[in-house]
Amino acid sequence: MTEPRIPMLDPDATRVAAEEAGIPTTHLNVFRVLLNHPHLARSLYRLLATLLWHGQLDARLRELVIMRIGWRTGSVYEWTQHWQIARDLGVTEEDLLAVRDFPDDGRFGPAERAVLTATDETLDAGAISRATWQECAAHLPMEHLLELVVAIGNWRMFSSLLRSLEVPLENGVDPWPPDGKASKAP
C-alpha cells in the first residue's frame, strides 16, 4: 500500500474526527485522509450521502457515470470502490466493463449513451453540449438532469482529490476488477 500525501488517521483518531464532523465512522481510506479536516469531510460526506442515498437519478445511470469518470481519469480508487457499489446495485460486470469503450460498444440504450456522452463532454470540455443535453432531457426529468450535472462534477472532483492525494486502496482490495486492465489515463 502506498502512503497518501496527507496521512491517514488511525482507527481511533478516525472515530474521534468522524464524531466531531457529525458523520458515521468509516473505514474507507478516503475518509481516513479527509477527516484530517473534519469540517471539510462533513461537507463532502453530506454531498455524497445526498447523491448516493437520497438522489433521484437512477442509481444504475449514476454508477455508469462514476465508472466512466474513474476509467477516463485513471482513478483506480474510484473505479474499484464503485465497482462493488455498482455490482451490489445489480449492474452487470459486462456493463461495467463496457463503460470503458462505450462509444464503440452497442450494449447501452439511448439514456445510458446520453449520460455517458454527457460525462465525456464534461471531462473534455467542462460542459455538456446542447445536443447531448437535449438527448439527456429526452430521457430524464428536470430534477434528474440537475442531479446528473452535480454527480458528474462531484465524482470528477473526487477523482482529482483521490489521485492528487494518492489515497491508496484499502488493504486486501484488488485494483481494476475483474480483469486487472488498468486505464491508460495519466
Q: For residue range 101-119, what is the model confidence (pLDDT) as tens digits? A: 999 989 999 999 999 999 9
Q: Which residues contact 42 (CB under 8 A, 6 or more apart)?
A: 21, 22, 23
The confidence score (pLDDT) of residue 169 equals 95
Whose cell is 468522524? That residue is 18
Q: Please say whether the beta carbons of 73 and 164 come within 8 A.
A: no
Compute and round to an integer the Cα radius of gyration of the chain. 17
Q: Domain extents for the chain?
A: 11-53, 59-164
At 3-38, the pLDDT tens digits run 899 999 999 999 999 999 999 988 999 999 999 999
Length of the chain in terms of residues written: 186
The confidence score (pLDDT) of residue 185 equals 87
Count of CA atoms in the C-beta half-sphere (13 A) of 76: 20
Residue type, 70: G
The confidence score (pLDDT) of residue 1 equals 57
May I ask the CATH architecture of the domain 59-164? Up-down Bundle (1.20)
| pLDDT < 70: residue spans in the chain | 1
